[in-house]
Amino acid sequence: MNLAALRAERIKLTTLRSLWLPPLIAALLTGGVTTAVGSILGGADHTITDDPGVGVFYGLNFGQAALVAFAVLLIGQEFNTRMIDVSLAAVPRRGRLYGAKLALGALVGLGAGAVGTAGGFAGYAATVPGDWHGPAFVRAATAGVLYPPLLVVLCLGATAMLGNLTAAMALLGPTVFLLSPLLAGVPGARDAVQFLPDRAGQYALHYTDDPHTVYGHWTGLLIMALWTALAAYGGLWALRRAK
């Protein structure tokens, strides 16, 4: 990656509404949905009060949909329109081009994570009675900021491996929003599902321990980071081999 390639990717981001709008929506949903749910349910629903992490990051369940869309679009739309050939003509070294996309995606995800986490904590504190500080606050807040960039980079890598926007959206969307949450509630599949990247990363957001989870909260974030690193490398490998 070099600064010129990163600058070119930044220009694409700021000039294409399809790219800059999803992370903005993600940040707004993460804080906004949490505030709305807290205002409606308040202290009546124990699922958002017994574990403050569930309540604070309730909106992230919706905001991550926009983050996945952003990551897939950031590189996937170039595959589908063959604009990737133009990008490679401008930046012939594929590693530099790919690194610039990963860096930009991570930075945007980090910004969305910081804004969304701040909004989630502010909305929760304003609408739900109780103490949301506690010893787990720093860990949950840190995980809330880091989860979005890890998710974006993971999805970028997966999209690069698939080399197709439609295929990436068809795979990542149902896996993150439907398959993984549903399987997490199935006793026979729970032991395996807990090691999926989104499940592991979201466990770090929780305040309380889950007796069915065999690792700690920080370890969950590390598991997600390892999945992200593998996906990023896989995307680089695929892009270098693509014709």
Start-to-end C-alpha separation, the chain:
20
Mean pLDDT of successive 10-residue segments in the chain (243 residues)? 77 84 94 90 74 91 93 88 78 85 95 96 88 85 96 96 90 80 74 89 93 93 97 93 73
Give the pair of three-digit tokens for residue 210. Answer: 């889950």
pLDDT tens, position by position, 186-202 = 777 778 889 999 999 99
What pLDDT is recorded for position 243?
Answer: 64
Q: Are 38 and 83 in contact (CB under 8 A)?
A: no
Give the C-alpha separation, 27 to 67, whole Å: 9
Give the C-alpha separation, 150 to 125, whole Å: 26
What pLDDT is recorded for position 93?
Answer: 82
Closest C-alpha to 14, from 108, 95, 99, 90: 108
Give the C-alpha separation, 90 to 3, whole Å: 13
pLDDT tens, position by position, 74-123 = 998 888 887 877 877 777 788 888 999 999 999 999 999 999 999 999 99
Which residues have CB under 8 Å from 41's CB, separation 6+? Answer: 48, 128
What pLDDT is recorded for position 193?
Answer: 85
Taking CA atoms, 42 is separated from 23, 33, 48, 55, in Å, by 27, 13, 9, 10
Q: Are 156 and 71 in contact (CB under 8 A)?
A: yes
Give the C-alpha separation, 221 to 203, whole Å: 8
Q: Over the range 201-222, which residues count as b (16 or more CB within 10 Å of their CB) and which as e?
A: bbbbbbbeeeeebeeebeebbe
Q: Which residue has the tokens 């974030």?
A: 221
CA dihedral angle for residue 115, residue 61, residue 166, residue 184, rounded to 10 degrees:
140
Closest C-alpha to 36, from 22, 48, 24, 20: 48
What pLDDT is recorded for position 240?
Answer: 86
